[in-house]
């Protein structure tokens, strides 16, 4: 199995277009310890020829241009295929803008399969702009929770990947929040999911780019995984408030923090996980900086910090 990190930053990317925090200033200045990152997305393949996108970033066109494996194949002879793509499908973990906006880049009449929960499909149907993905071209498949699914491409051909979607603690997408619904803002099961991908040899990869807390059920699922790519949005829960960049805590936004007694480092400390990598880092997070004390701390705890172009082979 091959995994490409197409984008490793949270919504807005790094540097964010309107952010003047220290991290973003260093990135704009070309500081090699603050390398830029596009918005969160992965690509995974069993054979290196057909690829499944895990979330569709607003930066998807740029990400395809940066990854030759996702570009049209040459074909045989002197006459290349007029239109072609090795992207066979897209799986969405929620309806956040930074995970669905890239679908609009894939609107040029190319067949692929689109997988999401019923809740996320409903959000797409309510916005007619996504009708540019015509039903006759892009087949939409519903993901049932905790039910292993053998994935296929837009023509129904198998991709040799088995995927299981599972609920994780999170929050409904910002543009779908309903304050009248109470503290949960209208959040329901299926608004945020994680993905478990099984390799042919039985090894498990878990992709969880958004998670508000580690529940007992989630901890049990993580145990024994060969690889976990996990939500690294914020270093501390009040990070945006302390930096003057916002008014919401990480928990309010549906993200667990890395540090702290109830943060990710502490929660993973006793887990048997083969390899652990942070993805979906906000531009304010100091772990983005190669030379920060926070980066050193996560590395000493056995974590890696994803970067655009990172490739993982299992």
Answer yes or no: is pLDDT of 77 > 80: no
Helix, strand or coil, per DSSP, at residue 180: helix
Average pLDDT over residues 146-157: 83
Answer yes or no: is pLDDT of 183 > 80: no
pTM of the model: 0.94
Whether 107 and 82 have beta carbons less than 8 Å apart is answered as: no
Task: Let me know if 294 is exposed, middle or buried by CB neighbors in 10 A (0-12, 13-18, 19+).
Answer: middle
In whole angstroms, give the CA distance from residue 20 to residue 129.
32
- CA 314 from chain centre, in angstroms, equals 19
Average pLDDT over residues 162-185: 86
| 113: phi then psi, degrees, rounded to nearest 5 | -100, 140
Q: How far apart, in Å, are the Cα atoms of 67 and each of 1, 7, 57?
A: 17, 11, 14
In whole angstroms, give the CA distance from residue 163 to residue 3.
14
Helix, strand or coil, per DSSP, at residue 63: helix
In whole angstroms, give the CA distance from residue 190 to residue 169.
10
Most confident of 44-53, 165-174, 293-302: 293-302
| pLDDT at residue 72, as a whole number | 92
CB proximity list for 79: less than 8 A, separation 6 or greater: none
Task: Give all domains of the chain, ordered by start, each with its CATH number.
Answer: 2-73+84-313 (3.60.15.10)
Q: How confident is the model at residue 76 (pLDDT cuts 50, 70, 90)?
A: low
Answer yes or no: is pLDDT of 283 > 80: yes
Order of strands across the sheet that contains 41-45:
138-142, 112-116, 87-91, 51-54, 41-45, 2-7, 311-313
Radius of gyration of the chain (CA): 19
Answer yes or no: is pLDDT of 4 > 80: yes
Q: How far apart, in Å, are the Cα atoms of 121 and each of 58, 135, 141, 235?
A: 18, 12, 9, 31
Answer yes or no: is pLDDT of 250 > 80: no
């Amino acid at each position: 199995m091959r995994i490409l990190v197409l984008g490793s930053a949270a919504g807005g990317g790094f540097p964010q277009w309107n952010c003047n925090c220290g991290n973003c200033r260093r990135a704009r200045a070309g500081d090699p310890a603050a390398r830029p990152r596009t918005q969160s997305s992965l690509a995974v393949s069993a054979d290196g020829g057909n690829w499944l996108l895990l979330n569709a970033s607003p930066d998807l066109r740029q990400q395809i241009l940066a990854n030759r494996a996702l570009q049209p194949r040459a074909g045989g002879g002197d006459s290349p295929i007029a239109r072609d793509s090795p992207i066979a499908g897209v799986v969405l973990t929620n309806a956040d803008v930074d995970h669905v906006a890239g679908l609009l880049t894939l609107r040029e009449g190319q067949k692929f399969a689109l997988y999401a929960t019923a809740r996320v499909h409903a959000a797409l149907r309510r916005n007619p702009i996504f009708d540019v993905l015509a039903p006759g071209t892009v087949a939409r498949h519903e993901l049932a929770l905790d039910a292993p699914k053998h994935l296929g491409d837009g023509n129904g051909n198998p991709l040799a990947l088995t995927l299981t979607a599972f609920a994780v603690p999170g929050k409904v997408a910002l543009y779908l929040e309903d304050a009248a619904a109470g503290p949960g803002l209208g959040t329901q099961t299926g608004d945020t999911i994680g993905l478990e991908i099984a390799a042919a040899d039985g090894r498990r990869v878990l992709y969880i780019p958004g998670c508000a807390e580690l529940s007992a059920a989630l901890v049990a699922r993580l145990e024994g995984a060969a690889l976990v790519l996990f939500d690294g949005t914020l270093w501390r829960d009040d990070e945006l408030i302390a930096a003057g960049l916002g008014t919401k805590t990480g928990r309010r936004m549906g993200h667990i923090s890395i540090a702290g007694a109830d943060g990710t480092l502490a929660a993973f400390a006793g887990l048997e996980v083969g390899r652990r990598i942070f993805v979906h880092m906000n531009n304010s997070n100091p772990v983005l900086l190669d030379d920060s004390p926070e980066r050193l701390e996560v590395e000493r705890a056995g974590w890696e910090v994803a970067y655009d172009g990172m490739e993982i082979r299992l």
